[in-house]
């Protein structure tokens, strides 16, 4: 397997292979870029089919974190970690703490957090070995569940998309189809309902569907029919790759804006098809940055209210991305990447200025 020339290696600064046979730990930490600050990104615990898959995943995800933090205006770089194994069978306190020791050995260049396969309780174990962990339980001094902040950012992103498409942020009477009403989706239903929007919901969890429908008056649709709802906004809040060759032609409304990660099966191709069909896409890593904004607030010991206020800036960020895409005739996904790269590049120049001994302030 190529290392420095790996297809997913976009000038990653550091990739660390972590191994402790006594506790069965095999993990990889990838630090993509620390121009803006320490590399922050979750720790995924997953039973990869091969080591090559794990390497590809950690390289790709860590780069994504660089862009997410840059667009959100945070002073954070991008990193990610993967632990190889089945979390249900292989996870132990000792293994998580051994991973925490490796994180600590990086001296703060990488800060870890929760991701799929790891929990708030695991972060508490890691915190026994290192300070460079966030997303701790509220009982351990952490910020707790980030979902209300993520959904708040998505809500403001939907307002920005409506402003772009309809010339107004007004949500009264707007129809929003929400795929997945888990932690993020159900908060989104609440925020939208409070503003008078009409919500259509789907989920594989029937009980949850009925409860949310009763509480907020949402209309329930089947998991497949969600793509056909004649709504103003389609909000994916469950899995990735839901905008694909099978679904893209079925979307009726002019906006795709939701909290799920990696919504486009193929960023370049499906981004272009959405643009050609005059469907405005709010890039996922921009609109769902509320979770990252929340842990950043935790790191800075700021209260939840500050995280919520900061998540509201997603409105302006998206407006400027939409404008860039319109003016340059590029997809919103490409425009978001440009905004991130431009910030990293300008702050990078600032850093070399400082290294040269020039006083900035």
Is 92:23 a contact under the CB 8 Å cutoff?
yes
Look-up of token digits 């969890």: 205
Minimum distance from residue 148 beta carbon to ligand NAD (Å): 8
Q: Which of 237/248 has CB closer to ligand NAD? A: 237
Give the count of residues interacting with ligand NAD (CB under 6 A). 24
Of the listed 68, 80, 91, 174, which one is catalytic? 80
Minimum distance from residue 151 beta carbon to ligand NAD (Å): 8
Q: Which of 208/319 has CB closer to ligand NAD? A: 208
Say what the alpha-carbon torsion angle 210, 216, 220, 224 is, to the nearest 10 degrees: -110
Minimum distance from residue 145 beta carbon to ligand NAD (Å): 7
Q: What mask, x for binding ligand NAD by CB under 6 A, covers residues 237 to 256?
A: xxx-----------------
Is 101:129 a contact under the CB 8 Å cutoff?
yes
Contacts of 194 (CB under 8 A, 6+ apart): none
Whether 319 is catalytic is no
Conformation bin of residue 108: beta by default, left when phi > 0, alpha when psi is -120 to 50: left
Is 157:320 a contact under the CB 8 Å cutoff?
no
If one asks whether residue 179 binds ligand NAD (CB under 6 A), the answer comes out as yes
Among the listed residues 42, 77, 78, 259, the single contact to ligand NAD using CB under 6 A: 259
If one asks whether residue 342 binds ligand NAD (CB under 6 A), the answer comes out as no
204 SS3 class: coil
If one asks whether residue 257 binds ligand NAD (CB under 6 A), the answer comes out as no
Q: Encoding tokens for residue 29?
A: 């930490």
Contacts of 208 (CB under 8 A, 6+ apart): 181, 182, 186
Q: Which of 95/158 has CB closer to ligand NAD? A: 158
Can you give the binding site for ligand NAD, defined by CB under 6 A?
146-147, 150, 179-185, 202-205, 208, 223, 237-239, 259-261, 288, 291
Catalytic residues: 80
């Amino acid at each position: 397997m190529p290392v420095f020339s790996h297809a997913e290696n976009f000038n990653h600064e550091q990739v660390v292979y972590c191994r402790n046979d006594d506790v069965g730990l095999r993990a990889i930490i990838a630090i993509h870029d620390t121009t803006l600050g320490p590399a922050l990104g979750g720790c995924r615990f997953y039973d990869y089919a091969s080591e090559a898959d794990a390497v590809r995943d950690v390289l790709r995800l860590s780069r994504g974190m660089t862009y997410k933090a840059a667009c959100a205006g945070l002073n954070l770089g991008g990193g990610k970690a993967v632990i190889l194994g089945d979390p249900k069978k292989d996870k132990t306190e000792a293994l998580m703490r051994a991973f925490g020791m490796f994180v600590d050995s990086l001296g703060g260049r990488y800060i870890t957090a929760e991701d799929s396969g790891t929990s708030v309780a695991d972060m508490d174990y890691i915190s026994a070995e290192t300070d460079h962990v966030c997303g701790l339980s509220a009982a351990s001094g952490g910020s707790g569940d980030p979902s209300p902040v993520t959904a708040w950012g998505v809500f403001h992103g939907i307002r920005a998309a409506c402003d772009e498409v309809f010339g107004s942020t007004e949500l009264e009477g707007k129809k929003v189809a929400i795929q997945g009403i888990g932690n993020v989706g159900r908060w989104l239903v609440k925020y939208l309902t409070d503003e008078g929007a009409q919500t259509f919901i789907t989920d594989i969890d029937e009980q949850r569907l009925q409860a949310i429908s009763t509480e907020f008056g949402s209309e329930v649709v089947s998991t497949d029919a969600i793509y056909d709802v004649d709504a103003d906004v389609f909000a994916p809040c469950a899995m990735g790759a839901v905008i694909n060759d099978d679904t893209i032609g079925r979307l009726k409304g002019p906006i795709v804006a939701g909290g799920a990660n990696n919504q486009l099966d193929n960023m370049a191709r499906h981004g272009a098809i959405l643009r050609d069909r005059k469907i405005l896409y709010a890039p996922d890593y921009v609109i769902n940055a509320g979770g990252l904004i929340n842990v950043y607030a935790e790191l800075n010991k700021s209260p939840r209210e500050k995280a919520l206020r900061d998540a509201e800036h997603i409105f302006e960020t998206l407006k400027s991305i939409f404008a860039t895409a319109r003016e340059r005739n590029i997809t919103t996904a490409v425009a978001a990447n440009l905004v991130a790269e431009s910030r990293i590049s300008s702050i990078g120049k600032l850093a070399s200025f400082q290294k040269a001994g020039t006083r900035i302030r």
